[in-house]
Structure 1
Amino acid sequence: MKQTKLFGMLLSVVLVLGLAACGETEGNSAGSSGAASSQTAEPAAYSIAALKGPTAMGLVKLMKDAENGEDLANDYTFSLAASPDEVSPKLIQGDLDMACVPANLAAVLYQKTEGQIVTLAVNTLGVLYIVEKGNAVQSLDDLKGMTIVSAGKGASPEQALRYLLDKNGENLDGDMIVDWKSEHSESVAALASGAATVALLPQPFVTVAQTKIEGLRVALNLNEEWNKLADDGSGLITGVIVARKDVVEENPGAVKAFLKEYAESVDWVNENVSEAAELIGSYGIVDAAVAEKALPACNIVCITGGEMKEKLSGYLAALLEQNPQSVGGALPEDAFYFGA
């Protein structure tokens, strides 16, 4: 009886010591990871630029929250630019921490800075559409023999259309005529005057054109056409948000916190179109009335991690095939993709 009692007491002591040891180990583990987390997730101050257009639309809720002094993970200062040429030098020189830029420009900047640019997320999928005053165009095949007006020669509109036609067994240079304009507004004017009946336009210019031209319809959504023809998991991508590599390395936890708040802003914009359009108009990104009609077709997203890498790397590979210089002459390495 005494032996049984003694054994029970010893067993209790062993269990208590074992649990204490486990608790100490877990506590140290949690403590160290908590310490690491607190080190990497300290609130940061970020200066972020976006281009007026779809790539800025998903940010507006976060912009407003920052302006109103809401309780956010970081301190954000936002600025808007009309052209990537205004943004790139500031990013490279360190005057900006992050920027929303065209997807191919991100790759160019990565090569130009020898890997000092990191892509955080895809923020806009394809926004290119074939529009027509009529009903002749029902598929890519129907573009044969036609004259199309478009801006963006040498840029993503030409590269995307050329890639899709190649995949479809057609040739942009031989099967149709493209009347290249210097600006999308010129294409809209050509449609309005009757000088053209088919155009390649991005949003929100599609919506602007439809408000001015009776009977103008969306004939083809190039985002959908890409998804039909590409079998590599890639996507037609308009814009991404990038950061300087040193900014990411200094505080990856704060960057992740930003991406969480960015994703929440994107969700809010997509779910509250009327309110979002008012904010978009108030920031001078796009007229509010145009924004409300265009938003559902602007494909605003916040895609991160492995999915971002799959879609973006495939898109850049397609551009490399069409024009190597459009992505800086080579594909970015894995370090280009944050969290992938």
Structure 2
Amino acid sequence: MKKMISLLLALALALTLCACVTPKTPMPIEDGDKSAAQPVTVRLGGLKGPTSMGMVKLLDDAESGATENGYEFTMAASANELTPQLVQGELDIVAVPANVAAILYNQTEGGVELLAAGTLGVLYMVEKGGETVTDVASLSGKTIYATGKGATPEYALTYLLSQHGLTLGTDVQVEWKSEPTEIVALMAEQENAVAMLPQPFVTVAQGQVEGLRVALDLSAEWDKLDNGSRLITSVLVARKAFADEHPAAVRTFLSEYAASTDYANANPAEAAVLVEKYGIVKAAVAEKALPECNLVCITGTDMKSAVGGYLQTLYDLKPEAVGGAMPDDGFYWMDA
């Protein structure tokens, strides 16, 4: 019996010594924590205009190492250049028109997720040589120069006209141009002209066309309808695979993007210098345009309400404008 007790004591002592010298096994790391611990480089895309103007502080901070995420930035003239790169996995997050995001969601069968609304309406009706445009109804019988056929500008104008009993192509004619610069040149040559332009090109036109005035803010006209939606120009959309793998990096991006838009809105002169640095427009133009660009970062339930209402108006108007079907709840990234 004594031998048995001695043996058990020796075994216990041996186990105690092993416990003292054996390294502790690391605790398993949850996926979200792993994403937070490891630096992530986000491949980001934006359009040459307000969508990228809201990112300039973020990009500048990233260059100096002041952001948690790293960022590689691609700027394009149209969404058609960015969306294939997103779908093919060459970009992680892009800023595109809201209806394009919905179309992508339908085409990829849920392969993308909407992170935030990035800009509200940036469309304005401008007039040279008179004050005949006073409200949407006063556009009846006019011919308008515009860009954006088959995109947000056409759909927004069609909807606003329809809410005032007017039909695009019947009551109001549009000469569609490929670039806002074409419209600015045309208005400079004509005595009387009306155009629908986005910022910052409204500011460009005001600097080049004598007697040009801003007649209507289409965002304000949309809000007057009080239909529960907002006029959304652009949104931020991510590859679902990227968002699923790096949720913490997505949350960090949204925080850093929100800070960037806040900076641009509060400091237009300083932000304008960065806008020129990244080749969007000249600083003098950007400083005047930024307050009219409606830069935002709307996430979560507010995003779902604002964007969902906007897409519903487009769907009711023309289902193919959003890809033939309204996106379901899986479209909205609600982890912000």
- Give the alignment's TM-score, normalised by structure 2: 0.87
Aligned to 1:332: 327
| Counterpart among 308, 314, 322 of residue 317 in structure 2 | 322
CA deviation vs aligned residue, 1:130-162 (integer Å, no higher than 9, x gap)? 101221111111111222111222221111011
Aligned to 1:231: 227
Distance change (3 Å), C-alpha of 1:108 and 1:274: same
Q: Is the 8 A contact 1:149 1:196 kept in 2?
A: no
Aligned equivalents of 1:180, 1:143: Cα separation in 2 = 16
CA deviation vs aligned residue, 1:278-310 (integer Å, no higher than 9, x gap)? 000011011211111111111111111111111
CA positional deviation for 1:196: 4.6
Segments of structure 2 that go 5 or more residues without pairing to the other structure are 1-26
Segments of structure 1 that go 5 or more residues without pairing to the other structure are 1-31
CA positional deviation for 1:174: 2.3
Aligned to 2:180: 184
Aligned to 1:164: 160
CA deviation vs aligned residue, 1:156-179 (integer Å, no higher than 9, x gap)? 111101101111222223222222
Aligned equivalents of 2:35, 2:304: Cα separation in 1 = 23
Aligned equivalents of 1:316, 1:35: Cα separation in 2 = 36
CA deviation vs aligned residue, 1:46-86 (integer Å, no higher than 9, x gap)? 1111111110011111100111122x222222222222222
For residue 269 of structure 1, give the secondary structure of its aligned residue in structure 2: helix
CA positional deviation for 1:125: 0.7
CA deviation vs aligned residue, 1:195-252 (integer Å, no higher than 9, x gap)? 65111111111111110112211110000111111412x1111111111001111121
Aligned to 2:244: 249
Aligned equivalents of 2:60, 2:149: Cα separation in 1 = 35
Structure 1 residue 94 corresponds to structure 2 residue 104:
no
Q: Is the 8 A contact 1:168 1:229 kept in 2?
A: no
Letter in 2 for 1:48: L
Aligned to 1:110: 105
Aligned equivalents of 1:75, 1:181: Cα separation in 2 = 37
Any runs of at least 4 consecutive aligned residues in structure 1 with deviations exceeding 6 A, and if so which?
none
Q: How does 1:198-237 map to 2 (within 5 A)?
A: 198-232=194-228, 234-237=229-232
CA positional deviation for 1:181: 2.2
Letter in 1 for 2:269: S
Aligned to 1:58: 54
CA deviation vs aligned residue, 1:302-339 (integer Å, no higher than 9, x gap)? 11111111111111111122222221111111111111
Distance change (3 Å), C-alpha of 1:54 and 1:146: same
Aligned to 1:27: none
| Counterpart among 253, 260, 266 of residue 258 in structure 1 | 253
For residue 227 of structure 2, give the secondary structure of its aligned residue in structure 1: coil
Per mean C-alpha deviation after superposition, the further-off stretch among 79-88 and 99-108 is 79-88
Structure 1 residue 299 corresponds to structure 2 residue 294:
yes
CA positional deviation for 1:194: 0.8
Per mean C-alpha deviation after superposition, the further-off stretch among 259-268 and 249-258 is 249-258
RMSD: 1.8
Distance change (3 Å), C-alpha of 1:147 and 1:195: farther
Q: What is the count of residue pairs matched by the alignment? A: 307
Letter in 2 for 1:296: P
CA positional deviation for 1:37: 5.1
Aligned equivalents of 1:146, 1:315: Cα separation in 2 = 26
Letter in 1 for 2:273: E
State the identity %: 54
Structure 1 residue 132 corresponds to structure 2 residue 136:
no
